[in-house]
Structure 1
């Protein structure tokens, strides 16, 4: 079976000022890449605590990479991504946005060594103001790229050993983005989904298309692929924003009803009731989720058709 094509790449140098990181002695063990920031709403009210990514560095790197691609697509490629999400499954990486056009632009960036280096290493800002989220993402990706896996694990406890293994997975994701050629995958093609998630096709990079610009949320497309292939291995979905309310319901149902082993943000985003029909979720179901407090983590309230989960990012870029 031929292996997926690997693009030629220039020899990478360690970013200036970034030494090899030894997690056993350089940092406290909530992780060299750090924790997530607390969740806030637009009134400055804290809605959710800082999240530790110990043992879950895969999700963390997916978030940081997606956050870097988002402004690059908007400002440099002049694409209009509403969202960027990634899925790690079968030791393969699946990337995409809500529409095919910006997804193709994302693939162009990934497949160009100079563009991807620019996208992942660029700190954004507006009117002379540094965007702190991208500043953090750049720093943490630089640290991951220079992670010291020769650390002496003597004295590590079970959690620390698990976290080190998680860093190894995260490093695989980062390396795959920097070296593999992304190939198209139609989320509606069942045979293609089965093939992509088969053991013989592990370790590949895909950008997910649907054949239109209808804007169906990328999380739905990822679940389409997992369900079509009846994939039972572990999968992780993460990106720029939390899943919207209706996507969160579908993700939750994929786990509880379909037996899909997918990990996603425990904090649901806004509900757009217009999506209920496409997800086969009735308004009464949505009401139930609101009434039972599922959406207490909303940054802007629990109303239907609320605004973006990342309005500050939208305005910055």
Structure 2
């Protein structure tokens, strides 16, 4: 599922244009809605990408002249069709293929997801299981992580992000700060300091605001790169000097902006995943039978040692050791 979401945003970030704004909106919505609405969004994205591929291929016909969409703004000539997301690629097949390659990648990933989902449904139907398991190893609990190394690996595959989600998210936040090194990175530093100063419960309270900030940040950055449509440029005005920010950038800077957006979207996925971990943690806060355990602070229990009865839930590997030497 995450691969489909990343492929969708990759299609939008690979070419900054008006048509891909809808892909950006859909990609940002998928991290904020539940599973049912996410399926509806995926179907809408698949339909829109199919329409985009058809429009891009139809635009390659020689009967369509791209100069009809040119606009003059002082000494600059800008093309409205390219701003929308349609451009001529010539007669070389390899160029055509590279032009629609992000869309093809999305279709391949979506098809693989559909095959996996169908196979999983058929297996569960054959085994008379009505619901699919949300974890890889359903029978593994927190106590299994203390018994042996395979149990630890299975537990981490099931509940690793439940235990270390905040740490992983903060590491990702530091990586995007080091990658950007601009004013927006300074705002991320402010969030980083704030999250480090709060405890886990306080972080859970403001986590939705943190997620919303990243959503708005990515969307505003994309709109900034897109700029205004060229048909709004008035050639007769002395003050009009339309210059697309995206068109002025060279290939290296375009790659930098795309990598910034892609990295921040990955961080947004981590933030969204941690939000789900917070919800699971709050829903099982007093549930001792929850296999993922809990994330309560236990440092204060050290002061109670020797004064109150304490039963260590971890298996004792040191008191009774048999030596076969």
User: Where is the strand percentage greater, Structure 1 or Structure 2?
Assistant: 1
TM range (shorter): under 0.3
- Name the TM-score, length of structure 2 as normaliser: 0.26
Give the greater-gyration-radius structure (CA): 2
Identify the structure with the greater helix proportion: 2
